Amino acid sequence: MALVVIGGVAAGLSAAARARRIDPRLEITVLEKGPVISYGACGLPYFVEGRVREASQLIVYTPEYFRKERRIQVRTGARVISIAHPRREVVLESGERIRYENLVIATGARPDALGIAGAREPHVFTLHTLDDAERLRGFLREKRPRRAVVIGAGYIGVEAADALRRNGLQVTIVERSEDVLLRRDPLLTAAVRHQLEAHGVDLRCGVSVDAIEPASAGGIACDLVVLSAGFRPNVEIAAEAGVEMGRSSAIRTDDRMETNLRGVYAAGDCAEVNHRVTNRPAYIPLGTTANKAGRVAGANAAGGRARFPGIVGTSIVGIFGVGFATTGFSMEQARAEGFTPVSARIEASTRPRYYGGSQTTVELVADRATRRLIGGTVIGEDGAAGRINVIAGALQARMLVEEFEGLDLAYSPPFAATWDPLLIAAQQLMKDL
Amino acid sequence: MALVVIGGVAAGLSAAARARRIDPRLEITVLEKGPVISYGACGLPYFVEGRVREASQLIVYTPEYFRKERRIQVRTGARVISIAHPRREVVLESGERIRYENLVIATGARPDALGIAGAREPHVFTLHTLDDAERLRGFLREKRPRRAVVIGAGYIGVEAADALRRNGLQVTIVERSEDVLLRRDPLLTAAVRHQLEAHGVDLRCGVSVDAIEPASAGGIACDLVVLSAGFRPNVEIAAEAGVEMGRSSAIRTDDRMETNLRGVYAAGDCAEVNHRVTNRPAYIPLGTTANKAGRVAGANAAGGRARFPGIVGTSIVGIFGVGFATTGFSMEQARAEGFTPVSARIEASTRPRYYGGSQTTVELVADRATRRLIGGTVIGEDGAAGRINVIAGALQARMLVEEFEGLDLAYSPPFAATWDPLLIAAQQLMKDL
């Protein structure tokens, strides 16, 4: 048996490590096109900010570690240019061919330049690899830019804006759609706008940038551009090999993370996963999902039996110290998915007033027909991750609003209010159901 | 219709307020034996500490508020000495009789002195009412005690120890049982001991105090004693009226919070509730439960229809900045409840190393036969409340360990690690199942 994994970051390494656990004797090779493996891509904005001092701190494991500790061969600078599935071979750029019995495709995604003219100018950066972040940090140090335009208000866009602002730059974010954070949600967008503007970052939604000039982008004067307008899954070699794509144009898999080709698995930012709220495929590329789906792909590719039941779409992003967390669907997304949603939004203190709490916003979205919770938003300095995770658990458990309202949540003045904001939101939602 | 509520703190006022919502015309009277209503009893240790400056800050609502805003008559200093249920009357200490059609008993609990000799000495304090806390604070200010003994290592005991230590006293906690925080759990006890000792508080378990002397308690020299050895439900007048008690000797109710007497409801620290993990009655007096059960009692007493499905036993206590949170059952408790439990305990970082996380401990307990989660512990400075709440939700949803392992939890470096400690604990537990 030989397992080949294409891609040496989150999904690929999770797959390889899990495969080793399942089969101690399996020959496992990981092929990574870049110079390093196992880096925390989500940490790049904090390296740009300067909070993380060295890019190398973002590297979790080295190829040597995998070789020695896991007996997994990891090759960097090994770009796969095609998959010859009938012969069970991958072909490297060098011409070398490597045989596999089972294959895990974890080729990730790449920034989408949206065909913007000038995207390759020297003052234009993406934040996708360690190299990207080091180049940007070097540019900040050497060129001392004063005005930045960030194209795209997804997670990386707002994190980059936060990082650049903390470095003293004037920052404008330009977003094509009317909403931020990849979520159709005017209330969330308004809250993010409020927080960005309170910290001097200008947010312009509904504005497309067609061209980047040396001293401006989309007509906004600047000497630095961060391109974070979206992702495109790296699926070309898979598609050429006959791997089928889903409607999102990422790779379609079953719940074992197997593609339409037997023995070929896919996971991570190149693949769809099941959305547990709708039980339909979704493309929501995130590191947590990559790790989980990668583990499942690796287990099955090594002869184990594992299922990935899917995600509910949970994420959080920090903007100048405030967490903006979402799970499931917003009202507008829920409508688009065919629900008849109803929502309640409250603001409440995270602790008793006498102890000095901070305010947090909670929005819950339910399906009117079934009374089932299908989404939520939590915004706050304090406990946003914990609260969104409670909602995420409820979505997975298909909890009704009345069940959620009865949750036995922890209370003590230093940590929580007697009625947690989650429960106040549920009580409010019960009135409208 | 007339509703009488005995008790004007958490459960009683929740009942009265809810009853008003259900029936705008109902005549509602709340009888409180003490001088004030609606005080945050859980805030008393923070008033002793000095963090909360004025005892009055702990009062949430006044009788005037209820009179004006809710048209609820609230009488303080109104001690009920008996319930004449056949005549539907409560009898006050003054001899006055008040008629009811429906009655809510929310008489709470009182500190249990355990028959300790000397418990009424002037340097002995409980922490149950505002008056208790003001007396203790006055004693600290005027007598400048240097050494304190805290009898009982429940929530109030450890919080009082923390508060006194922060006031510069030498503090020894003496606990009758082998364990702290009302939970048979040697690992939790060890962690609490470690934290207390790191902050100079001595914890002695398995030691009974029989007598308090003017300058010592249980043989330990001291000039201040806090008696926090447990609670005893205030059920005497209910019992005399024919209300049945459960095995815990608190009032037994059905899931509408109705007692064996039709039209007589009970909620709060005087009543049992259903434990959702076992579906058996339990006596776990906490403010959160009092509020929820009180709402249900009030709704039903006003002619509405509400159910209280119960609790899972979630709580958290802060000890010198670290949260100790538990839900469901510990290993030993689970065994006593008839489960064949299995547990996993891990320590992990709450954030990526490069961002600077803190360590947190997570223990999960599952039932081997059903693979269902039945308990958990989270200890940490960061996110203990949020994490225990996720486990609490899972207990309520009767989640299996493998379902919990697949939770889609939020990740971003400022807030969480890619693999949340909860998921690492679940993975560990899967290996042992």
Instruction: Tell me the Ramachandran region of residue A360: left when phi exceeds 0, alpha when psi lies from -120 to 50, beta otherwise.
Output: beta
Q: What ipTM does the predicted assembly reach?
A: 0.96
DSSP-H helix ranges across A253-329: 287-301
Q: Which stretch of DSSP H or E encloses residue A129?
A: none
What is the CB neighbour count within 10 angstroms for residue A257?
31
CA dist B340 and B370 (Å) reads 10
Q: Is B52 on the interface with A (CB under 8 A)?
A: yes
Question: Which residue spans within A164-205 are E strands per DSSP?
Answer: 170-175, 201-205
Q: How far is CA A361 from the centre of its chain?
A: 22
pLDDT over 90 at A42, yes or no: yes
Sign of torsion over alpha carbons B238, B239, B242, B247: positive
Task: Name the strands in the sheet holding A89-92, side by side, starting at the edge strand that comes first in the sequence.
Answer: A80-84, A89-92, A97-99
Distances (CA, A) of B170 to A131, B175, B229, B322: 56, 17, 19, 20
Query: Cβ B410–A311 below 8 Å, yes or no?
Result: no
CA dist B392 and B412 (Å) reads 23
Whether the CB-CB separation of B323 and B316 falls below 8 Å is answered with yes
Strand partners, B136: none
Q: Categorize the per-residue pLDDT at A329 as very low, low, confident or very high, splitting at 50, 70 and 90.
A: very high
Whether the CB-CB separation of B277 and B245 falls below 8 Å is answered with no
Strand B373-380, strand B359-367: pairing:
antiparallel
User: Which structure tokens are listed for B65?
Assistant: 């508020």
Strand partners, A29: A4, A73
What does R_g of chain A's alpha carbons equal in angstroms?
23
A42 carries an active-site annotation = yes
Q: Categorize the per-residue pLDDT at A279 as very low, low, confident or very high, splitting at 50, 70 and 90.
A: very high
Closest chain A C-alpha to B209 CA, distance in angstroms:
28
Chain A residues inside the 8 Å CB shell of B422: 389
CA dist B249 and B238 (Å) reads 12
Closest chain A C-alpha to B116 CA, distance in angstroms:
29
* CA-based nearest residue to B265, from B274, B276, B255: B255
CA dist B426 and B408 (Å) reads 13
Helix A186-198 and helix A155-166, axial crossing angle in degrees, nearest 10: 10
The one-digit pLDDT tens for each residue of chain B (433 residues) are 699 999 999 999 999 999 999 999 999 999 999 999 988 889 999 999 999 999 999 998 999 999 999 999 999 999 999 999 999 999 999 999 999 999 999 999 999 988 899 999 999 999 999 999 999 999 999 999 999 999 999 999 999 999 999 999 999 999 999 999 999 999 999 999 999 999 999 999 999 999 999 999 999 999 999 999 988 999 999 999 999 999 999 999 999 999 999 999 999 999 999 999 999 999 999 999 999 999 999 999 999 999 999 999 999 999 999 999 999 999 999 999 999 999 999 999 999 999 998 999 999 999 999 999 999 999 999 999 999 999 999 999 999 999 999 999 999 999 999 999 999 999 999 999 9
Query: Cβ B288–A323 below 8 Å, yes or no?
Result: no
A153: helix, coil or strand?
A: coil
Q: Categorize the per-residue pLDDT at A35 as very low, low, confident or very high, splitting at 50, 70 and 90.
A: very high
Residues with Cβ within 8 Å of A142's Cβ and at least 6 positions away in sequence, in order, are none
Burial class (CB within 10 angstroms; exposed 0-12, middle 13-18, buried 19+) of B410: buried
pLDDT at A84: 97
CA dist A168 and A144 (Å) reads 10
B:270-289 residues touching chain A, CB 8 A cutoff: 276, 286-289
Residues with Cβ within 8 Å of B136's Cβ and at least 6 positions away in sequence, in order, are B48, B125, B127, B226
Q: Which residue do the tokens 């450890």 mark?
A: B158
Q: Is B219 on the interface with A (CB under 8 A)?
A: no
Instruction: Provide, rounded to the nearest whole percent, the portion of chain A with pLDDT above 90.
Output: 97
Q: Is B420 on the interface with A (CB under 8 A)?
A: yes
CA dist A172 and A170 (Å) reads 7
Strand B373-380, strand B322-328: pairing:
antiparallel
- Largest pairwise CA distance in chain B: 71
Chain A residues inside the 8 Å CB shell of B397: 393-394, 397, 399, 403
B:235-264 residues touching chain A, CB 8 A cutoff: none
Q: Which residue type is seen at A235?
A: V
A:360-389 residues touching chain B, CB 8 A cutoff: 383-389
Chain A residues inside the 8 Å CB shell of B276: 408
CA dist B248 and B272 (Å) reads 8
pLDDT over 80 at A241, yes or no: yes
Tens of pLDDT, residue by residue over B362-409, are: 999 999 999 999 999 999 999 999 999 999 999 999 999 999 999 999
Average pLDDT for chain A? 96
Q: Categorize the per-residue pLDDT at A38 as very low, low, confident or very high, splitting at 50, 70 and 90.
A: confident
Strand A231-233, strand A109-111: pairing:
antiparallel
Residue from the list B42, B286, B314 with its beta carbon closest to the beta carbon of A413:
B42
* CA-based nearest residue to B405, from A23, A12, A396: A396
Q: Is A353 on the interface with B (CB under 8 A)?
A: yes
Sign of torsion over alpha carbons B122, B128, B129, B134: positive
* CA-based nearest residue to A295, from A276, A337, A267: A267
DSSP character at residue B65: H
What is the CB neighbour count within 10 angstroms for residue A399?
23
* CA-based nearest residue to A399, from B396, B204, B307, B149: B396
Whether the CB-CB separation of A365 and A330 falls below 8 Å is answered with yes
